[in-house]
Amino acid sequence: MEKQELLVSAWTDLEKKQPENTIDFSAISLEITEILNTACLTLSWIKQESLRKSDIDIVTDPMWVEIANTIRDTIKRIIALLEINKIENPSAFIAPLLWHEFYDLSIWSADSARHALEKPYWYAWDMHLMKKSCEKHNPWDNYERLTNLWFLDFPTAESIRQRAKSLYETLKRLPEWSKVLNLACWPALEVQWFLQNFDKKVDFTLLDNDPQTLNYLHQQELDDRVTIKEANAFKLSTQRLANLLDGAKMDLAYTSWLFDYIPAKFAPRITQAMFEQLKVWWKLIIWNYLKLSDTNPHPQRQKFVMEEILDWKLIYRSPDEIRWFLSKLDPETYKYHISTEFFATNPNTPTWSIGFLIVEKLR
């Protein structure tokens, strides 16, 4: 079976599974509270100790790392409890967590999690978190560093790192004189990595509609291989985009982490506008988080962290829904497949969480 078919069938199988009706809400809430009580005993102690000792590197010290696992394990235990009880809608179980001291000692103390919650740039994982989560040595101290570990370690954070790496790998393989369009680009980390590490003549056009994004990009003083322009994806037509690109045809056009936020009705038009700018034989890549499937490490309860704790709502799509982005294209003009992190070729890799729609222009 082809990887594409495997993705579709894994998702369809899961859709068929029925939720159970026998849920004892108060017993589960009580169990959550007990898990949190136990964790709090450890955390209060760590907090006092870690604030006192500023001379050790608590992120690499085995004892402290072990203690940091308390937070991660507590969150994992709650998620496991919800999974065992087949809870389809975890929002009913957020209250015991929100009102518990554990919340202040862990989630609210982790500036990465707090940043995701507060959303200074309207979406959870903005440039600041993107940079911090991709850096080897994070700029936090003591207790905060410990509390950040759980957050930067869960599958969503990992898939975000994988996404940037996957795109970077693609850029590295482009031949000299390629032209690349990146729609909704901020912070375009993969482009920045490419510019830092390669002299190859590849021209990038970075488009975004957010003034802060555009300011940030200008401040980076990226080299003359980069053109930065303001563009609103919702208003793009084939002609408008062609004008923005001064009629130049692209070797690669991509947008990552835009479609997860926008209603499906906008997707085919944006897809078409980008596709039409491609040179024949070249590629369009669109990313979207995949819906729950047996091979997706973002099970429904993982959304307990994303949606309930961090108020971070994305649109997860099935391969069929992602395929629908192509609905305005002439089927004779392209071929496509849906790939995953690292554009993995092994369909058995149990780490699928991102759907990369890869479209090749045939004429």
Ligand X SMILES: C[S@@+](CC[C@H](N)C(=O)[O-])C[C@H]1O[C@@H](n2cnc3c(N)ncnc32)[C@H](O)[C@@H]1O
Q: Residues in the site for ligand X, rule: CB under 6 A? A: 123, 130, 184-186, 208-210, 213, 231-234, 256-258
Distance CA 309, CA 107 (A): 8
Of 110 and 124, which CB lies nearer to ligand X in the complex structure? Answer: 124
Give me the least distance between CB of 272 and ligand X, in Å please: 16
Provide the token pair at 142: 């003591």
- Intra-chain end-to-end CA distance of the chain, in Å: 28
Residue type, 145: R
> Inter-axis angle of helices 142-153 and 25-52, to 10 degrees?
140
Of 67 and 241, which CB lies nearer to ligand X in the complex structure? Answer: 241
Burial 261-278 (b: 16+ CB within 10 A, else e): eeeeeebebbbbbbbbbb
Give me the least distance between CB of 130 and ligand X, in Å please: 6
Of 10 and 184, which CB lies nearer to ligand X in the complex structure? Answer: 184
Give me the least distance between CB of 184 and ligand X, in Å please: 3
CA distances (Å), 273 to each of 102, 186, 209, 252, 354, in order? Answer: 48, 20, 16, 13, 23
Give me the least distance between CB of 225 and ligand X, in Å please: 18
**E-assigned strands of the chain?**
179-183, 203-208, 226-230, 250-255, 278-289, 334-339, 354-361
Give me the least distance between CB of 342 and ligand X, in Å please: 15
Of 17 and 313, which CB lies nearer to ligand X in the complex structure? Answer: 313
**Within 10 Å of residue 153's Cβ, how many Cβ atoms?**
15
Distance CA 149, CA 31 (A): 24
Of 87 and 244, which CB lies nearer to ligand X in the complex structure? Answer: 244
Give me the least distance between CB of 273 and ligand X, in Å please: 12
Residues with Cβ within 8 Å of residue 231, at least 6 apart in sequence: 183, 207, 208, 209, 240, 241, 244
Give me the least distance between CB of 229 and ligand X, in Å please: 10
- Cα angle: 251, vertex 257, 262; to 5 degrees: 110
Of 209 and 227, which CB lies nearer to ligand X in the complex structure? Answer: 209
Give me the least distance between CB of 193 and ligand X, in Å please: 12
Of 79 and 207, which CB lies nearer to ligand X in the complex structure? Answer: 207
Distance CA 103, CA 211 (A): 34
Of 103 and 168, which CB lies nearer to ligand X in the complex structure? Answer: 168
